[in-house]
A and B are shown apart, each in its own frame.
Chain A
Amino acid sequence: MKDKATGTALSDATVSITGSATRTKTNAQGEFTIKVAQKGAVLSISYIGMKTVTYTVNNAGPVSIELESSSTTLEDVVVNVGYGTQKKSVVTGSISRVSAKDLANIPNGRVEQSLQGRVAGVTIAQNSGQPGTPSTILIRGVTTFGGGNNPLWVVDGIVVDAGGIGYLNQSDIESIEVLKDATSAAIYGTRAATGVIMVTTKKGKAGALTVNYNGFYGSSSPAKMLHLLNATQYATLLNERSVAGGGNVLFNNVGSLGLGTDWQKAIFNNDARRYSHEVSLSGGNDKSTFYLSFGTQDQQGIVATEISNFTKQNIRLNATHKISKVFTLGQTLGYTHAKSIGIGNTNSEFGGPLSSAINLDPITKLVITDPLVAAGAPYSVNPVIRDANGNPYGISTIVGQEMTNPLAYIQTRLGQYNWSDDMIGNAFLEANITNDIKFKSTIGGKLAFWGYQGFTPVNFLSATNSLLKNNYTKSNNNTLNWNVENTITYNKKVNDHSFSVLLGQGAYMENNGGGSSVAMLDLPINSYKDASFNFDISQANRTSGTYDFTQHKLTSLFGRVNYNYQEKYLFTGIYRRDGSSRFGANNKFGMFPSFSAGWVANKEGFWKQNSIVNTLKVRGGYGVVGNDAIRDFGYLSTVAGGLNYTMGNAGVITTGYAPTTLDNPDLRWEETTQANFGFDAQILNDFSLTVDLFNKKTTGILRPIAIPGYVGVTSAPVANVADMENKGVEVELGYRKRIGEFNFSANGNFAYLKNQVTYVASDTRFINGDAAFQSMGPVTRTEVGQSYNSFYGFQSAGIFQNAAEIANNKNGAGGLIQPTAKPGDFRWVDTDGDGSITDKDKTYLGSSLPKYTFGLTLNADYKGFDVMVFAQGAAGNKIFQGLRRLDIGTANWQTRALSRWTGDGTSTTYPRLTSADDNGNFGKMSDFYLEDGNYLRLKVVQIGYTLPVKMLKKIGGTKLRVYATGENLLTLTNYTGYDPEIGGGVFGIDKGVYPQAKSFILGIQLQF
């Protein structure tokens, strides 16, 4: 098979026999073999970017087929629209698609990362560089307050909770569709407000057995280390800080301290290994097809590798059987076992290895080797942790609280892990009642088990962190979530009128399960290796807890009508009615309608074929979707325990009860309406362009209302009392060119998003943000006119260089605005103009949400060689850089503290150091803590070589490709922390986030 224009062999073209399920693909040399039942069979050959051709087989033997470049790429692509598929060319909503081809060989740990930078309007940020950690995903921005912003994941028609999506194996994915606008997402009504991500796993194809192997091995290292002060610099600054605050010189001979301890070096690993092996088999015949795969992966973390690791094993079987002319039976089933070892506290100002390494003084020794010191307190009298040589790990006497020697900390967490077993699958029965009517009944389920197991030895990490009795803890949780869906589809084409009607019904059960945990204390052992629950431990040293989850149930009816006239005028209408257990009787059910229309201009008679705009489809729509991701029983006033008190002199606790909140039987659905307008075009033959404009409004946001404290309830009732809107533009631009044997393609995407809160009820003028930094309290705030969770604090206007500047900083009445300020302190902006600096001067300092997100993928191949470059980034947001602990004045500094203010004219950005920070230079939340979060990251660079097929003949292979991948090789940013990509409930809060690794990987791909 060849390209007619260039004569290049076309690999991966699909060859199928018309009227049969048999199909095959061409190999790297463009060759294929297919067995036909009789003469006259018609082969259909399709290839993306080429016109589909048919070939009638008259004789056995080699044939030569040439394909012509197609003027449109949209024609062939079929997208999953939920409960069915549609040709991309007639889709009227905003749906983005990522196919298996785009994901092949990219070493993503989790499926969410497959989407990062590939789909315009989908913001994805990793929460942590800890292997196996989920990312935060926002489709078209923040939809609602609080949690509940996760998109709905639907895998092969089964709704899977966002946290549980990690079970998917990347090689098993055939395609991912993102339903971005309400007009397409409305088919999932209730839970579609945050967008829907539909994953389709690979299915077997009739024809020869295909075996694929893909494996890689790599090494990771930190992409960046912080520049922290060495011991001499640190002591110098600490002296200066102490003296400025009226204290003594703390270190007399700072030079003798040398460089001191590099805590970062102690915890970072420059050679953290990772590997992955995936094998799949697929094939079948006219009656049955199957896809079977196995995978295993192991990834070490770059921070404290002994306690940072992720392993996963999975198996999948997808099969389809044609029972009769009418009935088809199918099933998908995936099982995954994962084990994750985590470093504990991350992105927290309260300890953990990263925060400790950043904050600990460089003077304290990593390990105490001086026997005199080791023989003294605290080492001699406490169960301190020791290294392999029996020397105690150093305990700082300068930086205390939760900051502990990370190497000692690691020793206390060895052998602790989280595990999960997920079995997710569905079975469906499809009946083609007539040629036009299809009935499908699906039952899906997710059986999940997960928990924790770990031993913590007796330890003394510091005077504030010690454990006198060891403990061995185990927890088990399980859920059996299921759903049943029945749909009926009617497709009809009458002359130029095509229509398709879908009617469906569904019932869904989630959070159906519970869990328990047990802990045994005081085991007669010291090492995790010896831990066992078989020790005979007295009842007094056993604790246990058991709990049920609250079931979440939904019942739904839905329908969709698609109509088109000559594939020129397009219309789609969707209606869904959902009932949710989370709402009271007054508003149990919610209705979610949507409609959209499109116009394919180039199919009009008056359209003149031209080489500038080849095709053009204009589309627009409006829809309503809902969100029930709120707490259970928000509409009810219940009496709950937990208001306990200790009665009597024996320390016995009695459980107390009281109503937790006031009831709100009128609690109703939060509604997200969205208008979308866009077009898809093919330009200058080689470019494809998709542009979408949207306006998404969420009304009646469910949030806890700030009820007055004098009411006296412990938790605030939820009510529908806030509105928010997201407006944006999304552009996806593709380019594809073939010059001789050289193929090149580029795909770029760009999105702009503006988020604004438009209403909060009169109970409060603002809502304190979800992010807080220690004693500063909340650092973000939500208020009408601002974007959700905007940073909020004092604004600085330079530094007072001398006493005269302070004396001249007067208010209208002639008084000093900052009477207690000293040279070297920040000049705060008196935003309310009342002549003094008070909390009322706090103002909005920027958004935590990126305004711009973008991605670019470049692909090129020539003969056997291929190159892929993928970059992505975000811009327009601020990051809260809170790496230095606030209440530990003696915590170490980053080297930028060396450029602090030390006298007139020395600095205008970094204030003086003093232990009496009366001006709140460091203690106040201000723009001092905020940095630009813009970044552009070279995420993946991959170079591959595919061997000529001749060389594989001996082993019977059809394809062998070797490749080298570099991951996160370069990040362009001005941000001073480890990593500007920081997800989480509130984006961009950095208290020591686990940074992403830089990796080098070698891989091999083999096909039989």
Chain B
Amino acid sequence: MKKIQINNLLVAVALILSLGACKKEFVDVSPKGQFLTANYYADATQAYGGLVGVYDAIRKNSGGFENMITMMNAGSDDHFAGGGGATDGAGIQAFSNHTLTALNVPGSFWSDHYQGIFRANTLLQKLPTTTMDATLKARFAAESKALRALYYFNLVRMFKNIPLITEPVSAASMYKVKQTTSDSVYAQIEKDLNEAIATLPTTVSVTTEAGRFTKGAAKALLGKVLLFENKGALAAAQLADVNGATPGSASSYGYKLLSNFSDLWVTNNKFNSESILEVGHSSAGNSDWGWWGSGRDEGNTVNVMVGPRSYSTPAGSPAPGLPSGWSFNVFTQNFYDAIKGDPRFAATVFDLKALKAAGQADYIDGYQNTGYFLNKFLPRNADIRTGGGSQELNFKQDTYVIRLADTYLMEAEALGGTGARAQALLDAVRARVGLASTPVSLAAIKAERRLELAGEGHRFFDLVRWNEAAAKLASRGFVAGRDEIFPIPYSELQGTLLVQNPKYN
């Protein structure tokens, strides 16, 4: 009897153990709907997916709350941060009154660009073993390099002392990375762009490929980079190629100023002849708050940010109907006074102060309100999304990283602001808006840049390049030798070998 009991027990125990043992594979679950990094980038389709991922980071220009345009505007003398209150967007407010610290600087300006660089590095590392057409492969590599150059150019202008990373960093070595000199970063940018220019196509299909890097776009970027490096002659050479022999006429790449300045800000007028490097936005992503500013967000956030708060118009008012926004980037009185008589005034400034005074529109004051809103990027009723997602996050206006009027003025500046060519370039920009010629000089070019490119995120970098930031921004708390660049974000200094920028400790 006893024996039987024990046998039974042993059988049961053996049964349990065997049931357990045969289940080892049971707990192996492999990921579905995504790929293992080791296997990806195998063919042209996957490589293209990787390339789109590299492009994704360019939306930093105007997508997400922390975007280049509203941030760089806020730090210039043309705009205030604005918004709902003194703490609405701690980072943008701090840049606007030049009180950035390692803790309040929005880290995404650093990390989002490095995300683009990481994706470019990964693609460039994987491409040699990808099975695909060699020409296409070379083009993908060229585009990756051009984008990597753009991201490094933004980083080096914002943070100056940055790590130069040209292949993916492993977990083992990620805390051993060091900063390098800005000169070597610029050298890498030039190298990447020169290699890209050799391979990039001259034109791309507007319907399916517009927005991808072309030879002209890479040259324009290289010209701009060289100008920031103070290499005037080299910059002028690159930009001359982009601008064409006769300012005002189409260049060999097909670039030509739009005849009507305000057409630049018409949402449907994407990839027009003046556009050289443009960031694409769409309402088709049905963007929502949960992933605002991330890779899936395809909306333009500048639009809603610069709109007036709780805007309304009485019946019969001639004022346009507009969806409301958050009141960021209002123009300063100083800028208003500068542009008041200019033909570009109406397209640039939405003078809500005047409309309200005339009883033709009403709105709620934001922080630092002047009543002068950034008309180039105001949200439009026609652009309100008709699909899903949140209204605020699905505006679809594209933004320019570089447009022809910009390269005209940059070339004129690179030429030292003298000579017939410089004069012709300046005249072409003025003539387009019906302004008479004015004698070319660096001062004249600077004044023209301010009015022509107002609100497009260039002014702060221009002031720094011209060494005028300290003077123009003194009243905003700018400290020379510190505020030309951002502090390195706090999180980048933890456990790493990175060193904070001067005067930020």
Contacts and interface: CB of A to CB of B under 8 A. Distances in A.
User: Are A and B part of the same complex?
Assistant: yes
A655 interface: yes
Interface string B101-115: 101100100110011
Given A636-B31, A644-B295, A886-B85, A664 B324 contact: no
A643 B122 CA distance: 14
Interface residues on B, range: 35 or more
Contacts of A761: 495
B36 A649 contact: no
B20 to A, nearest CB: 4
A663 interface: yes
Contact of A646 (B211, B315, B323): B211
A636 B36 contact: yes
A717 B169 CA distance: 14
Interface string B343-381: 000000000000000000010110100000000000000
Say whether chain B's binding surface is mostly helix, strand, loop, or mixed: loop
A579 interface: yes
Contacts, number: 347
A468 B386 CA distance: 6
A890 B364 contact: yes
A543 B310 contact: no
B439 interface: no
B388 A923 contact: no
Interface stretch (B127-135, B171-179, B425-433, B462-470): B171-179
A164 to B, nearest CB: 21
Interface string B21-44: 001101111011111110010000
B31 A632 contact: yes
Contacts of B88: 774-775, 886-887
A482 B16 CA distance: 18
B163 interface: yes
A355 to B, nearest CB: 15
Nearest to A519: B388
A692 B35 CA distance: 50
Contacts of A917: 85-87
Contacts of A650: 207
Interface stretch (B48-56, B182-190, B416-424): B48-56
Interface stretch (A274-282, A406-414, A762-770): A762-770
Given A658-B53, A887-B84, A521 B387 contact: yes
Interface string B291-303: 0001110100000
A102 interface: no
B284 interface: yes
Interface stretch (A2-10, A39-47, A707-715, A932-940): A707-715
Contacts of A377: 312-315, 317
B206 interface: yes
Contacts of A641: 34, 49
Contact of B12 (A433, A637, A660): A433
B501 interface: no
Contact of B280 (A398, A645, A774): A645
A400 B87 CA distance: 17
Interface string B138-173: 000000000000000000000000110100111100
Given A398-B364, A713-B115, A648 B9 contact: no
Contacts of A375: 315
Contacts of B107: 709
Contacts of A712: 111, 114-119, 121, 165, 168-169
A707 B49 contact: no
B311 interface: yes
A984 interface: no
- Of B29, B58, B270, B324, most buried by chain A (CB within 10 Å of CB) is B29
B29 A551 contact: yes
A969 interface: no
A762 B175 CA distance: 11
B15 interface: yes
B444 interface: no
B442 interface: no
Contacts of A521: 386-388
Interface stretch (A200-208, A552-560, A823-831, A872-880): A552-560
B392 interface: yes
A653 B101 CA distance: 37
B309 interface: yes
Contacts of A639: 34-37, 40
A648 B207 CA distance: 5
B234 interface: no
B479 interface: no
A891 B494 CA distance: 39
Contacts of B83: 775, 887
A656 B27 contact: no
- Of B31, B122, B280, B392, most buried by chain A (CB within 10 Å of CB) is B280
Interface stretch (A336-344, A459-467, A695-703, A746-754): A459-467
Contact of B118 (A462, A711, A887): A711
A890 to B, nearest CB: 7
22 contacts: A350-B289, A377-B314, A488-B9, A521-B386, A521-B387, A555-B26, A639-B36, A639-B37, A639-B40, A643-B52, A644-B52, A648-B210, A652-B208, A657-B53, A663-B37, A664-B171, A709-B489, A710-B163, A712-B119, A887-B85, A887-B367, A920-B87
Given A463-B323, A468-B386, 9 more contacts: A507-B19, A521-B387, A579-B27, A638-B31, A645-B59, A651-B283, A658-B53, A710-B163, A710-B165
By Cβ-Cβ distance, the 9 closest A-B pairs, closest first, are A712-B118, A887-B84, A709-B111, A656-B52, A400-B310, A923-B87, A656-B53, A646-B280, A643-B295
